[in-house]
Amino acid sequence: MLILSLSIPACRHTPNPATTQSSSHRIVCSFLPMYLFTTAVVGNTPDFTVDLLLPSNIGCPHDYELTTADARRLADADVVILSGGLETFSGEAIRRINSKAKQIEAWTGCKVIADTGDEAAHDAHDSHLHAGNPHVWLSPIEAVREVENIRAGLAAAYPDHAVDFDRNAAAFTAKLKSLQADFAAARPTFKHRNIVTMHDAFAYLARDLDLNVVASITLNPQQEPPPGRVAAIVATIKKEKVPCLFTEPDVSAALASTIAREAGVKVHSLDPLTTTTSKPAPDYYEQRMRANLQTLKESLQ
């Protein structure tokens, strides 16, 4: 133990959690936003590995089922960070793989929005129908709550490092508050407020900005919309005078352009922050959320 602890300072300035496989503390995060928030809280604290569980190219992970590779990653985790409501594998499925891992649901205490009630968007297999809309991380206000829950959960799991987590969480929360201020400043400025999105990820962002999501094409971006859905959406866009359609990086461009062409509106893209092609920079969350805000400002004038 002594030898190990003496060797730690050398690692202090190489915060590359994915490659420090010898770390004795292992945290696994369910999907990208949880990885972004957790790496912000852990920061350069030595001797920690923070891993992303789900592949970062699958988009919003509705109804995801764990693979054997996921099970290997979970097997030696001390802590698993989940957002909540979205991860159908939380609880028992993880306990079967690793009964000792502490599971933290970051959305605890968030002001959860009920599911849309738009039955046409629901699929019979949707598992979060009664838990509420799970996409809380797309509100900078709810993101602060998630970061606080992650901080508190990690401080309880690793009390020796609580001071580091407190300091890092405070610094990241200050950045989220600055983001909140930008959102608050933009809130009164939109000329159009009715929006249509591909899946129901943006209800929280819309609430922060006083926008109305009049329709979402599906609750699950991995599934084709049910029959008749496209025609219903086109009708809604025309009736509600929605100025454009917001697609997402993970959604079929053909589907979005078909709807937009039939409705006679333009397509813009909002990022639900569930996909990345490379290792995200420390300010990835703020950057992408500011890009979303900019897209909304430009397209709803």
Q: How far is CA 215 from CA 35, 111, 143, 167, in A?
A: 29, 21, 24, 41
How far is residue 257's CA from residue 79's CA, in Å, rounded to a whole number?
A: 42
Smallest distance, Å, CB 199 to Zn ion? 5
- Which three-class secondary structure state does DSSP give residue 28? strand
217 binding Zn ion? (CB under 5 A): no
Nearer to Zn ion by Cβ, of 94 and 201: the residue is: 201
Minimum gap (Å) between residue 247 Cβ and Zn ion? 14
CA distance 17 to 62: 26
Residue 81: CB minimum distance to Zn ion, A: 18
Choose one: 10-18, 199-207, 229-237, 248-256; the region binding Zn ion (CB under 5 A): 199-207
User: Residue 260 interacts with Zn ion (CB under 5 A)?
Assistant: no
**Tokens 């079967």 identify what position?**
96
Binding of Zn ion at residue 234 (CB under 5 A)?
no
Q: Which of 11, 32, 38, 35 is nearest to 23 (CA)?
A: 11
Give the binding range for Zn ion (CB under 5 A) out of 56-64, 73-81, 100-108, 143-151.
Answer: 56-64
Please say which residue, 31 or 172, places its beta carbon nearer to Zn ion. Answer: 31
Cα gap 107→136, rounded to integer Å: 7
- Name the one range near Zn ion by CB under 5 A: 33-41, 53-61, 67-75, 223-231: 53-61
Instruction: Find the shortest distance in angstroms from Cβ 218 to Zn ion.
Output: 9
Q: Which residue is nearest to Zn ion (CB)?
A: 60
Candidate segments 21-29, 198-206, 231-239, 278-286, binder of Zn ion by CB under 5 A: 198-206
Of the candidate spans 40-48, 55-63, 93-101, 251-259, the one that interacts with Zn ion by CB under 5 A turns out to be 55-63
Residues 4, 7: Cα–Cα separation, whole Å? 5
Q: Which lies closer to Zn ion via its Cβ, residue 40 or residue 201?
A: 201
Pick 152 or 201: Cβ nearer Zn ion? 201
Give min distance, CB of 231 to Zn ion, in A.
23
Q: How far is the CB of 135 from Zn ion (least distance, A)?
A: 6
Which stretch, 168-176, 178-186, 193-201, 276-284, contacts Zn ion (CB under 5 A)?
193-201
> Helices in 80-218 by DSSP H: which ranges?
92-97, 140-157, 162-186, 203-209
Exposed / middle / buried, residue 218 (Cβ in 10 Å: 0-12, 13-18, 19+): buried
DSSP calls for 42-110: HTT-TTEEEEE-S-TTS-S-TT----HHHHHHHHT-SEEEE-SSS-TTTTHHHHHH-TTPEEEETTTT-
Interface with Zn ion, residue 201, by CB under 5 A:
yes
In angstroms, what is the C-alpha Rg of the chain? 20
DSSP summary character for residue 24 = S
Q: Is 113 in the site for Zn ion (CB under 5 A)?
A: no
Cα separation, 157 vs 141, in Å, equals 25
Position of tokens 């333009």?
266
Per-residue contact track with Zn ion, 9 to 48, x per CB under 5 A? ----------------------------------------
Near Zn ion by CB under 5 A: residue from 27, 29, 60, 259: 60
Interaction site with Zn ion (CB under 5 A): 60, 201
